[in-house]
A and B are shown apart, each in its own frame.
Chain A
């Protein structure tokens, strides 16, 4: 992904409607995203463009992801834990 696309993705991952997704997507982008295959990166970008109330239930596991390709990336997001010190 080029510089501009990555910067745009960063904005869309960290200016969400829900704080939950700001935290999870923001951290994922820094820590996991660079290690994904190009195809997986594209899938992540599609997920990041989803509405918060569609994406959040997938990420927190209250809904199942129907798309197999997306499910793999969603599974990674589900495993991600964001803890901040007080």
Chain B
């Protein structure tokens, strides 16, 4: 069967920060560029980012990109690639100032410079003391950033396809990527976007977990499409958990609440962080606080009938302070926990927040499918769906928005460069290019006696949460792998009742689940295999010892994981320890 084909020089899937930044490069260079998005661009999840974007501008005090690089390598627990990290930190001032010129309304100092504030893990002079490096636009940094980038794209005549869902990559026999197949939700029509270059900027997949701060849209579509096309996924065992998501709903309670004096308590009312981090207490870094919370719960000191959460207490604060300094927090607690935090503490649990792994790329945004380092012709990725890898085993706050700007831009630049040596004509599409996608759609259409999409997704989310959460256990992981493979069988037989063509959200949700399950499998299998603790991946059977501080085992595990969908095969590749211009930041125990 054939489907309509539209031709572009480049197609970008995703209109969040990374996709929009890439699109500016391409459209301004005069390339005919299509940007596909499941939602209107300024509804992308980048909007949720509040904290800021990092750059060593040195506006408030001395700072240097090399210090930023050091912090990022250390934050990554030495799993980040040092060429990519140098590239990102060095470029940060340039891309942030550029964003300012695009119209981003950054907060300003009295002298009119971009105002900068401190953020966890960002230090001066190679880890000496906190430095002001985060640039923000009030608590709407992501929102303001997307608006500035979107306007710039409108000016540059980028062509948007809004409420279109990309379904699959088109890859020919040589492995070259020739575009994507996509579904227009408004009509139900399936169309091929034939392009010389395809950039994925589809964001994260945080919805694989039951408790997630991520909006519903984060279903890992780019990762699912890449995996189905035979591209491996890198370092999928590494997920950052935010300590304070509202128990159940997952909605984020900002770190600012603890900054204003909020205290974490267990079932006996004890301020337990005093035991785990005597100095920083409730303000210790995200992973330390999350692990302490889970230890309390695992050892039976959790709260509630099932003893499965802890409490964030601000009842001792002056209500006027709460209303003034923490606007919206009271309302969030009432709406999502049924608790007025002026009168009672808020139930919280560590909640999935950010995906460090993804589609393997180099710092130019080219997708690299194997250890040889050769790029997949025509395929690029940037942002949370990609793994450059700058975040390694653990991301520093504010480094993700930076990643979008730097690698969005560099992937665009690389496309322009690569395009110069490509033939003028598009490489023809293989005759059967749409077969697999159409078969997948028709399977869904005709399935009877199948599985419910909602139930299957929930089973997957519960399994990920219980078997692959903040703290990981050998037996739980092994069991988790088996369970996820069972759930995969259900995903293969999902059934939808609504067969209409137009705006069929049931169909779209089933197709999203096809992507979620790929990410869930990759995560569970990679986590089961990595027998050490590093960054956000913490195993009970790899504890802190003299031989292996923090449970990290560099001799065996200082390497990136690559997961292949076919047979759940794993391979490994070395971490890049050769920065572009400075000396290697040598392996060291990570301590703050």
Contacts and interface: CB of A to CB of B under 8 A. Distances in A.
Contacts of B143: 17, 51-53
Interface in B114-143: 140, 143
Interface in B29-77: 38-39, 42-48
Interface string B490-517: 0000000010101111001000000000
Nearest to B347: A86
Given A7-B502, A53-B47, A86-B349, A16 B215 contact: yes
Nearest to B163: A11
B503 A62 contact: no
B309 to A, nearest CB: 6
Contacts of A4: 500, 502-503
A35 B45 CA distance: 31
B69 to A, nearest CB: 31
Interface residues of A, number: 33
B503 A7 contact: yes
A47 to B, nearest CB: 14
Contacts of A8: 185-186, 503
A19 B308 contact: no
Contacts of A61: 331
A20 B214 CA distance: 10
Contacts of B186: 8
A16 B334 contact: no
Given A11-B508, A23-B249, A17 B47 contact: yes
Contact of B336 (A17, A18, A62, A82): A82
Given A15-B216, A51-B43, A62 B332 contact: no
Contacts of B337: 83
A53 B38 CA distance: 19
A24 interface: yes
Interface in B444-470: none
A14 B216 contact: yes
Contact of A83 (B140, B163, B336): B336
A70 interface: no
Contacts of B273: none
Nearest to B186: A8
A80 B47 CA distance: 23
Contacts of B45: 17
A14 B509 CA distance: 11
A25 to B, nearest CB: 11
B214 A19 contact: yes
B215 A18 contact: yes
B251 interface: yes
A15 B217 CA distance: 5
A22 interface: yes
Given A20-B332, A22-B215, A15 B308 contact: no
Nearest to B508: A11
B140 A53 contact: yes
B357 to A, nearest CB: 21
A27 to B, nearest CB: 10
A10 interface: yes
B18 interface: no
Contacts of B43: 15-17, 51-52
A10 B42 CA distance: 18
A14 B46 CA distance: 16
A84 B48 contact: no
Contacts of A57: 328
A31 interface: no
Interface string B150-190: 00000000000001000000000000000000000110000
A53 B137 CA distance: 13
A30 to B, nearest CB: 12
Nearest to A85: B248
Interface in A19-63: 19-20, 22-24, 26, 51-53, 57, 60-62
Nearest to A19: B215
Contact of A17 (B48, B331, B502): B48
Given A7-B498, A60-B328, A81-B335, 17 more contacts: A3-B500, A7-B500, A7-B503, A14-B216, A15-B43, A16-B215, A17-B42, A17-B47, A19-B250, A22-B215, A23-B249, A51-B42, A53-B140, A60-B332, A61-B331, A62-B331, A84-B248
Interface of B: 38-39, 42-48, 140, 143, 163, 185-186, 211-217, 247-252, 304, 306, 308-309, 327-328, 331-332, 334-338, 349, 498, 500, 502-505, 508
23 contacts: A4-B502, A7-B500, A7-B505, A8-B186, A11-B185, A11-B505, A15-B43, A15-B215, A15-B217, A16-B216, A16-B217, A22-B216, A51-B42, A53-B140, A57-B328, A60-B332, A60-B335, A62-B327, A62-B328, A81-B335, A82-B335, A83-B248, A86-B248
> Nearest 6 A-B pairs (CB), nearest first?
A17-B47, A84-B248, A7-B503, A60-B331, A19-B215, A8-B503
